[in-house]
Structure 1
Amino acid sequence: MKYRPLGHTDIKVSALCLGTMTYGEQNSESEAHAQLDRAVDAGINFIDTAEMYPVPPKGNTQGLTERYIGTWLARQGQRDRLIIATKVAGPADWLSYLRDGNLHLDRVNIEAAVNESLQRLQTDYIDIYQLHWPDRSTNYFGKLGYQAVESEQMTPILETLQVLDDLKKAGKIRHIGVSNETPWGLMRYLHLAREHDLPRAVSIQNPYNLLNRTFEIGLAEIAHREGCGLLAYSPMAFGVLSGKYLNGQQPKGARLTLFDRFDRYSNPQVQRATEEYVGLAQQEGLNPAQMALAYVTSRPFVTSNIIGATSLVQLDENLESINTSLSKEVLQGIEAIHTQQPNPAP
């Protein structure tokens, strides 16, 4: 395993982070524990979750992911050797069951969320507490174009940072991060933190993969110059880049077979680009999934690549990507495909 600095902190996180959003939906508690054991044995010290998980979000499963991690942490007994990241949900009409649906990144919601996450995780502190998505109307979750919404209700970013500062002083969180943020949002968080001596974001968790490189357009430079590296999620585009959905295949138990909420990965442009990426990997003697993951991990603005799996076989394959090197010819081939079909799944 390789390790990288987390922002300007003295923490080093594994270049691969274990994503857990299947725990409680596609994975049982025992399967979750087995994955966590395997990942730690492979050198991973970084685990990412969220209060909203598992996905797809449901009222009767909400919080199960953190609970499964919590029972594992209690059994494992090496909390101080791990970096645990979780997230507080922002406004969403599809989360009506969470805090009565009145979700904002304000004091009432953030304090309630962090206390509940600490209880489920069975820990006294959270290493990186992330804002899962913005408390304002903007372009995220696959939406590229920004459209202004007049008179919207939103929590000022300064107020959010002040709450997080209090939680940090109380010892409940160590560092903060943002997620699904825009260039304006990230720079605003960084500016206000500097101006008011408040916690500075150490990471940004946004989607990034061969089918969606939009992070490079406005955020990569910020991540690099400001020391706020990317925690890349969906590096495999929900498994699409493995090639398992090509030619109309619907593997039993696979995420896109089970759930239709991720349809942005099924358009014709995605299919064409995926065929090209899979073909390139096979031509170069590479596993398509490992090529896709190795590309993300190799980007200079990436702090950690969040891998996920529903089986130990998949997890082992994804872990092995840390040992996959991409030649100049492979990188040139990837760029050629990207030029022909850029960002088909934003």
Structure 2
Amino acid sequence: MQYTTLGHTGLVVSRLAFGAMTFGEGQLVPGVTNNIDQSIADQMVDRALDAGINLFDTADAYTNGQSEIILGKALSDRRNQAIIATKVGFRTGNAITDTGLSYRHILASAEASLKRLDTDYIDFYQIHIPDPLTPPEETVRALDDLVQRGLVRYVGFCNLPAWKAARWLGIQERQGYARFVGAQMYYSLLGRDLEHEIVPFVEETGMGVLVWSPLAGGFLSGKYTRENPTPAGARLNEFKIPPINVEQGYEVVDMLKQIAQNHSATPAQVAIAWMLTKPFVSSIIIGANKIQHLDDNLGAVKLKLSAFELDQLEILTKPQPLYPGWMQTMGWDAKVKAGLDSESGS
């Protein structure tokens, strides 16, 4: 296993994290049903721990809280080896207040998550989704309160645009609150939008990135093909998150298969190995419905792609700059840059 720190903290995390979104039995979201009971989850968690994974990610909304309950039981005897990350924001009950990022809901949700996980503290607590109603001042105050009470160690965000995350971080720093140390975001060879704004933001502010859906909802595993675009039981057939350009996806999968042949690997391993070369990525969340899928993903840490192979993937998938991004380099005056380059080389 490879390790790094979560951004500019002293928290050492495995470069691969285990995602427990598939834990539980019943509907996860409309169109997607989970079918992983405690016995299978125990095997998966043990396999992940034995492979060196120490970061486990879940959320209060996954399968009506079952994910947290099952993960907590699976980690019970080895809790001291695990960094538990969970999230708040999506609906968790029938009351009109059982959702969002209000002070009331965040505190109630954190306390409920602690009970389900059967633990005294949450290592990394993240806001799951933007709340259009609650002022950010209220949300970050709630997060800081949890840290001050010792119920949460670190806080972070998911799925925020860079400008909004910057505003919230500014409030935290002005008020002396616990600041965001990590961002959980979607990133894959078929979704590199993160590189436009979020990557420069986290690099500037010292945050680490936890990646969700590194295989683009399973598309990069290679099971979706031109000949069979909707394989039986595949998640993307009903739950089209994240959105992808299917035609580009087929081209990328073709290249992944070619590179995989050079290494006796799988397309999924190549896709994850590419992401492991990104220094802004602290950890990549891998989830699985079957133990063999988990074993396959774990193999990515042993795969070393050549510079030529990495360049092939970069060229095929690199996103085009968005305005005003493509004007930023024009700020460099040619004479000034030449003079500075000359000075640094002397």
Specify if TM > 0.5: yes
Q: State how far apart, in whole Å, the 2-side matches of 1:235 and 1:261 are.
A: 15
State the match for 2:236 in structure 1. 256
Deviation per CA, 1:256-303: give whole Å up to 9, x if none. Answer: 35x334373473343344334434433665421101011112201001
Determine the C-alpha separation between the residues in 2 that align with 1:321 and 1:310. Answer: 18
Q: Considering only aligned residues, what root-mean-square deviation do their CA atoms show, in Å?
A: 2.2
Change (3 A) 1:130 1:263: closer
- Give the SS at the match of 2:213: coil
TM-score with structure 1 setting the length: 0.84
Find the aligned partners of 1:340 and 1:162 in 2 and give their Cα distance: 36
- Give the match's secondary structure for 2:36: coil
Alpha-carbon shift at residue 192 of structure 1 (Å): 1.4
119-128 vs 220-229, greater mean Cα deviation: 220-229
Q: Which moved more, 1:273-282 or 1:100-109?
A: 273-282
- Alpha-carbon displacement from aligned partner over 1:53-96 (angstroms, at most 9, x marks no partner): 13xxxxxxx1010010122233x2x3222100000024xxxx48
Of stretches 316-325 and 4-13 in structure 1, the one that deviates more from structure 2 is 4-13
Deviations 1:9-54, CA, capped at 9 Å, x for gaps:
2210111000110111132221111100000000001000001113
- Structure 2's unaligned 5+ residue stretches are 25-33, 322-346
Aligned positions, number:
312
**2:45·2:75 contact (CA, 8 Å) conserved in 1?**
no
Q: How far is the alpha carbon of 1:97 from its aligned partner?
A: 4.0
TM-score using structure 2 length: 0.84
Q: Given the alignment of the two structures, is residue 188 of structure 1 paired with residue 167 of structure 2, yes or no?
A: yes
SS in structure 1 of the partner of residue 167 of structure 2: helix
| 1:318 aligned onto 2:318 | no
CA distance in 1, matches of 2:220, 2:138: 40
Q: CA deviation at 1:175?
A: 0.7
Task: Write the letter of the residue equivalent to 2:235.
Answer: R
Percent of residue pairs identical: 39
Contact 1:241 1:278 (C-alpha < 8 Å) held by counterparts: no
CA distance in 2, matches of 1:96, 1:3: 33
Does the CA-based 8 Å contact 2:61-2:92 persist in structure 1?
no
Aligned partners of 2:275 and 2:144: how far apart in 1? 32
Instruction: Give distance in 2, aligned partners of 1:37 and 1:96.
Output: 28
Structure 1 unaligned segments of length 5 or more: list them. 55-61, 137-153
Determine if the alignment matches structure 1 residue 298 to structure 2 residue 277. yes
In structure 2, the residue matched to 1:2 is: 2
AA at the equivalent of 1:185 = K
1:326 match: secondary structure:
coil
Max Rg structure = 2
Distance in 1 between residues matched to 2:320 and 2:248, nearest whole Å: 7
- Alignment equivalent of 1:28, drawn from 18, 37, 40: 37
Q: Does the Cα contact within 8 Å between 1:201 and 1:228 map onto a contact in 2?
A: yes
Q: What's the secondary structure of 1:206's corresponding residue?
A: strand
Which AA in structure 1 matches 2:183?
Answer: I
1:133 equivalenced with 2:129 (yes/no): yes
Determine whether 1:116 maps to 2:112: yes
What corresponds to 2:147 in structure 1?
168
Q: Please list the CA deviations of residues 158-216 of structure 1 after superposition, one character each: whole Å capped at 9, or x if unmatched.
A: 21111111111111111101001111122112211111100111110010000001111
Contact 1:242-1:278 within 8 A present in 2 as well: no
